Each structure stands twice: as structure tokens, then as C-alpha cells.
Structure 1
Amino acid sequence: MKTLTALFATAALALSANVALAKDIPTSDVVKLVQAKTIMSLDDLNAKALAKHPGATIKDSELEDVYGRYVYKVELRDAQNVEWDVDLDAKTGEVLKDAQDN
């Protein structure tokens, strides 16, 4: 029983460590990153996300620092009212994730 408890505790710590490594970037810093050309413009990133789901609208978006990589996360709702999560590399515009939101 002690082994099972220790295993669950270790798993919980490992999962929470991954969450802690993703950090939201404040709006003031986003502006500086765009001006320094460290990341693409938000308009360009939004266009790339919308291109994956024509006719969709953006519900929410945020920039995160994930393991030292800037990831732009966009929540979309398409014409059929289906929600999508699209993650983009904010520097290159590469689509990292395009999945239906559950």
C-alpha cells in the first residue's frame, strides 16, 4: 500500500511540474516581443489559426512561454458551433496543435 501511495504522489508531482513550466506572458511584454520581431504579429498568428478553420471566430487567445518556447494559444468556434484549440509557435507560425475542444 505504501508503494502505491508513493507512486500516486510521484505522478501528481510530475504532472504539476509540467503545468508550472507554462507561463502566461503579460500584454505589455507581448507588444515588446512583437516590436523586437521575437514573435510574429498577433494579426498574422490569428490569420494562421483562422486558416485552419475557415469561417471560425476567435473566442480567446494568449501567449505562453512553454519550456522557453513562445506558444500562441487560440480558441476558435466554427460555423457548426464546434470549439477548436489551435497552438502556434509564435516565432515561426508553425501549427503545434489543432484539436477539437472537449
Structure 2
Amino acid sequence: MNRLTAFFIATLMALGAGLAHARDLNNDEARKLRDAGTILSTEKLDAIALAKHPGATLTDTELEEEYGRYIYQVDLRDTKGIEWDLELDATNGEVLKNHQDT
């Protein structure tokens, strides 16, 4: 195998590994993490997200494990009908992302 082929294969493997950085957690996994005190309850996380946009409505939520961190993703629709994407650190409620959906 020549060096160019080896480099190409190594690059593809690295890219493939990078794509697998996040995985969705199911309800059972989330419940176990909450019960162990690893993450906050969804009620607390929802309240933190809703406090950023008073009067907004939750449209979707998802818990992911990304690079060893638990990220709670929230989609909101505010009182003006504007959609918002928020990401919170599920372990402490820190807002990591809060931007208007485009």
C-alpha cells in the first residue's frame, strides 16, 4: 500500500470516528442518569430553557451524549411565533446555545 492510499484510509477512518461523536439517549438511560444525580430532571431543564423566553412553548426536547457531555436540546416557539434552539449542559443547566432557528 502506498503512502497516499494509507493517508486516505486513515483520513476516512478519522472522519468516520468524528461523525459518531453524539448519540441520542433513550428515556430509560435518561432516567438512570437523573436518578444517579448525574443530570438534572427534565422539569428543571425545561424551566431553565423557558425562563430564557417567557411565555414560550416547548416544541421538542432531546438528550444527547456529546464528547462525554450530556447535552439537553430544546426547541421553543415564543409568543411571536419565533422558533428558538437552545442547548443546555444537562449536568448543571448552563445554557450553551440560545439562538433563533433559521
TM-score interval for Structure 1 and Structure 2 normalised by the shorter chain: 0.7 to 0.9
Q: How does 1:8-23 map to 2 (within 5 A)?
A: 17-23=17-23
Equivalent in the alignment of 1:59: 59
Equivalent in the alignment of 1:73: 73
Mind listing any 5+ residue stretches in structure 2 that lack a counterpart? 1-11
Q: Deviation string for 1:10-66 (max 9, x for gaps)?
A: xx9877654421110011100111100100010000000000000000000000000
Q: State the SS of the aligned residue for 1:87.
A: strand
| Aligned counterparts of 2:15 and 2:59: Cα–Cα separation in 1 | 27
Q: Which has the larger radius of gyration?
A: 2
TM-score w.r.t. length of structure 1: 0.83
* Structure 1 residue ranges (4+ consecutive) displaced by more than 2 angstroms after TM superposition: 12-20
Distance of aligned partners of 1:46 and 1:16 in 2 relative to their CA distance in 1, 3 Å threshold: farther
Would you say how many aligned residue pairs link Structure 1 and Structure 2? 93
| Aligned counterparts of 1:15 and 1:82: Cα–Cα separation in 2 | 35
Percent of pairs identical after alignment?
A: 54
